[in-house]
Amino acid sequence: MALHVVNEARRCLNCKKPLCKVGCPIETAIPEMIQDFLGGDLEKAGQRLFENNPLSIICSLVCDHEKQCEGHCILNKKGMPVHVSSIEHYISDAYLERHPTSRPPRNGKRVAIIGSGPAGITISVVLASRGYDVTLFDSREQIGGVLQYGIPDFRLPKAILERYRKLLLEMGVRIRPNTMIGSALSVDDLFRDGYAAVFIGTGVWRPNTLKIKGESLGNVHFAIDYLSNPDAYDLGDSVAVIGVGNSAIDAARTAIRKGSRHVTIFGRKPSAAASSREIDYAKIDGVEFKFCLMPVELTEEGPVMRVLEYDEAGKASELSGSDALHPAQSIIIAISQGPRDYIVNTTTGIETSQRGLVVTDECGSTSRPGVFASGDVVKGARTVVEAVKYSRQVADAMDRYMQGQDLTCKKV
């Protein structure tokens, strides 16, 4: 592994205008990181990654590198791009193992972070490193949010999240699991107890529905619920997955690993939204793909699908008389998620959009002073690296707010 990573690093051309950095949503300084690594300064390379992206080891595993850093690599035009993800993973893994965790002097200000997903972990790390007393609340037993309960272990080993839990504790972060803000405790209670600012990063856990007949049947499940605890389900031998994003791929591959032998993914469009790499892995696992099909009814025998035809402009039309049953013992619906509303229903002054997402300005400030938000609960289901990028900006804004500095931002 080490030899492979070194060889990959040596292939980097160290471009003066690195397109790989342009393709990275968080603008990771990839050539500089690689040169630090090749120069024997693993600590500096790891620190460069961690300070730019505290979840770099996670992003090295779950990012769509083909569309981002590796897809923009200049070597991709003539052959094989530098395998940036492997280099980033090796460096981040080593750095996280030996990360210095000395706690900076406390500044006497208390911060509440609601939700321990990518956004919550990022802001906890940033603010704890600046001397804030951080308490991280999560409604579930383990930290990680979608990283823990929405991404399968074969894509993201959960041992990595345990390392982050230990890191947070070593940085002085207090973690309150199994604590839902909006139930016994409210945001008002947090301010009553002396928190200078509150961050909402609760993600999107309410499944979107197809709004067709049959969604309440006993053999129909939602992907986000299934992925949270697949061992609780008995899907049977054949499974139909409706949706073609990463959650659909994850659900299908998990179902095969849990014993289902015939798993088919159905999509409305002519191609899948998931990354080509994930699609390749799914096909190797044995997942079948069927496109240009729209569900019109769900039954105990499987979904009834209607054929869609596309013209040259990409406009779809339904083919009359094409409805057909596709036999399956279980059906999984994987068409994204929306936010739950426990917090906003118990808190005054927090504006939400028609989709139920929290409305903020570009600093992450909500309509209630002192309350900030970022991640999926603001922008809808997005990637991990996008959540980290935005959350770093919000952490800076929270810092300025608690230090009494001016916050002038725009709506996003």
Q: What is the mean pLDDT of residues 205-228?
A: 94
Q: Which CATH architecture is the domain 2-97 placed in?
A: Orthogonal Bundle (1.10)
Q: Calculate the alpha carbon distances from 366 to 105, 112, 350, 401 in Å.
A: 29, 15, 6, 13
Beta strands at 220-222 and 324-325: parallel, antiparallel or unpaired: unpaired
Of 37-51, 267-281, 374-388, the one with minimum mean pLDDT is 374-388
**CATH top class, domain 209-335:** alpha beta
* Domains 2-97 and 209-335 equal at CATH topology level: no
Question: Is the confidence at residue 412, as pLDDT, over 50?
Answer: no
pLDDT score at 2? 52
- Write the DSSP assignment of 298-343 as a string of letters: EETTEEEEEEEEE-TT--EEE-TT--EE---SEEEE-S-EE---HH
Rounded to 5°, angle at Cα 277 from 275 and 283: 105
CB 217 within 8 A of CB 298: yes
Listed by start position, the domains of the chain span 2-97, 110-205+338-402, 209-335
Could you tell me the CATH superfamily of domain 110-205+338-402?
FAD/NAD(P)-binding domain (3.50.50.60)
Of 170-179, 233-242, 294-303, 359-368, the one with minimum mean pLDDT is 359-368
Question: Is the confidence at residue 316, as pLDDT, over 80?
Answer: yes
Question: Is the confidence at residue 258, as pLDDT, over 90?
Answer: yes
Cβ neighbours of residue 211 under 8 Å, at least 6 residues apart? none
pTM listed for this prediction: 0.91
pLDDT score at 104? 82
As a whole-number percent, the residues of the chain with pLDDT over 90 amount to 75
Q: Which of 297, 294, 298 is nearest to 307 (CA)?
A: 294
pLDDT score at 345? 63
Residue 355 tokens, joined: 């989709």
pLDDT interval class at 408 (50, 70, 90): low
As a whole-number percent, the residues of the chain with pLDDT over 70 amount to 95
